[in-house]
Amino acid sequence: MKICAVTTWPPHHDGISIYSSYLYEHVSKKAEVRILANITDSSISFRMKAPSTLNHYSVVRCWRRGSVFYPFRIFSRVLKEKPDVIHLQHGWLLYGDKFSSLLFPLLLLLLRLTRRPIIVTMHTVVGKNPRLYENKIINFTAKVTIIFLTKSIVKLSSRIIVHNDLMKKTLRDAYMLRNDYWKIYVIPHGVKEVREKRRKIRGNEYFKMLSFGFIRKGKGIEYLIEAFRIFSISCPKAALIIAGGRHAHDNEEYAKLVKRRLLNDAAENIIFTDFVDEETLDRLIWESEIIILPSLDKHYLEASGSLARVAMYGKPVICSKIPKFEVDLEDGKDCIMVKLNNPRELAEAFSLLTNNLSLREKIGRNLRRKFKDRVWSKVAEQHIHLFKASLKAY
C-alpha cells in the first residue's frame, strides 16, 4: 500500500509538522509513504523534530504555504505518485493565511478526480458560537465561513480523523453533520514512549518546574510568570524553565513581549530557552518535579501536543481548565486544573504539589496509565487499519 501524505514538515515550526514526523515514521514501517511537504528555507534549524531514519519514507517538497497555486501543485504531484490512499493533515492556517484556507476544498475537489480514498485529519474543530473577534459583524462572518469550510471538508473527504470524542460530537451537532457521522473516526494524538527513567541530578537544590512548547499569545505565558512570582515568595529555591519559541504562523511580537517583560522585571529563577533538541527536552522533563501546560484557547477543540509529549514520564501536570484538557484529563486524579488567567489560583496549585510528594506521584502515575495505549506505534496501527478499510470500501 502506497500513501501520499500532505503536511507541513520540519524544519517548519508548527505542531502538525512535529505530529507528522512522529506519525509517518511509524506508519512507514508497515507501508510505503511519500510525504508531500511544504517548501521551507533550509537555513532554518528545527531542533524539536522527532528523531527518525529517512530510510522508511521519502519527502518531496512540492508546495509553498500562502501560494494560490498550492492545490494544483499538490494535485499534480499526487498524479505522478499514483498512491493507493491520500492522507491530508488539516489546520486552519496550515496551508497559509486565511485566504489559503478557502482553497482547501478546491484541493479536495481536485483530488477526488484521482478516484482514490481521501482521508483528512482535522487537528482543530472550532467550538459552537466562538468569540474569535470583538467586532460582531466580523465574528459572524468568520463563523459562517468556518461552518461552510468545515462542512465542505467533511462532505468532500472519504474519511475524517479527529483526536477525541468531543471533536466528533461537535462536528455532528454544531455543524449538523449527522448524515456524514459514519465517516468520522477518532484516533488519539500519539504519545512518546518512554523506556528509561532518569534520576534527578544530585546536588541540584532547586525545585524545577517546566513549561514547554510554542510561545503564543493563546498560551497566556504572562499569567504563568506572574503566578511563579507569587509562588516564589514562599519558595525562593524554585526554578521555572520555559522552553520554546515562536510558532511559524505567528509574528514575533508576543514572544518578544514575554522576553522583554522578564528582562525589565529582572525576574529571578525564571529560565527562558529557545527550542531545544529531543535529548535536552527529555532531560528537562526528567529533572522537573512539575510540568505546566498553559493555554487560553477555549474556543478550539483539539488535542494537546505538549501533553502527548510528556504524558508517559510519570510527572504531575498542571493545566488550564479548557476543553482540550478537560476532554482527556480529570482534575485531582491525573492533573491539577486551574483557570490560567487567575495567577493566584495557579500559584496555589504550585504550592499544593510542591508540598505533597505523594500527590505528585499519584497524579503522574495515573496520567501515565491513562495514556499508555496511545503510544505512536499503536496510533500508527490504527491509521493503517483505517487506510486499508477505506481502500477496500472504495
Where does the pLDDT of residue 373 fall: very low under 50, low under 70, confident under 90, or very high at 90 and above? very high
- Give the percent of the chain with pLDDT over 70: 90
Q: Is residue 258 part of a domain?
A: yes
How far apart are the C-alpha atoms of 327 and 53, rounded to whole Å? 34
Domain count, the chain: 2
What CA–CA distances, in Å, run from 325 to 19, 244, 304, 339?
18, 20, 7, 12
Range of weakest confidence among 91-95, 238-242, 245-249: 245-249
What CA–CA distances, in Å, run from 58 to 33, 377, 386?
7, 19, 22
Query: 383 and 327, same structural domain?
Result: no
Assigned C-alpha cell, 296: 487560553
Range of weakest confidence among 15-24, 72-81, 215-224, 248-257: 248-257
- Give the percent of the chain with pLDDT over 90: 71
- For the stretch 119-139, pLDDT in tens is 999 999 999 888 888 888 998
What's the pLDDT score for residue 273? 85
What's the pLDDT score for residue 53? 44
Q: Is residue 197 part of a domain?
A: no
What's the pLDDT score for residue 216? 79
- Rounded to a whole number of angstroms, the CA Rg of the chain reads 21
Q: Please name the residue ranges forming H helices in the chain.
A: 15-27, 70-81, 98-102, 104-112, 136-156, 165-173, 221-234, 253-265, 278-287, 305-310, 323-326, 343-354, 357-371, 376-393
The CATH number of residue 278's host domain is: 3.40.50.2000
To the nearest 10 degrees (0 to 180), the angle between helices 104-112 and 136-156 is: 10
Where does the pLDDT of residue 52 fall: very low under 50, low under 70, confident under 90, or very high at 90 and above? very low
Do 159 and 135 meet the contact criterion of CB atoms below 8 Å apart? Answer: no
Residues spanned by the domain of 320: 207-373
Closest Cα to residue 359, out of 307, 311, 318, 316? 316
Do 208 and 291 meet the contact criterion of CB atoms below 8 Å apart? Answer: no
Query: 334 and 249, same structural domain?
Result: yes
How far apart are the C-alpha atoms of 103 and 97, rounded to whole Å? 10
What's the pLDDT score for residue 205? 62
Query: 214 and 183, same structural domain?
Result: no
Query: 265 and 170, same structural domain?
Result: no
What's the pLDDT score for residue 42? 53
What's the pLDDT score for residue 390? 95
Is residue 201 predicted with pLDDT exceeding 70? no
Query: 363 and 380, same structural domain?
Result: no
Query: 150 and 13, same structural domain?
Result: yes
Query: 234 and 184, same structural domain?
Result: no
- For the stretch 150-189, pLDDT in tens is 999 999 999 999 999 999 999 999 999 999 999 999 999 9
- For the stretch 326-342, pLDDT in tens is 999 999 999 999 998 99
CB atoms within 10 A of CB 364: 23
By the 10 Å C-beta count (0-12 exposed, 13-18 middle, 19+ buried), 151 is classed as: middle
Residue range 375-381: mean pLDDT, rounded:
97
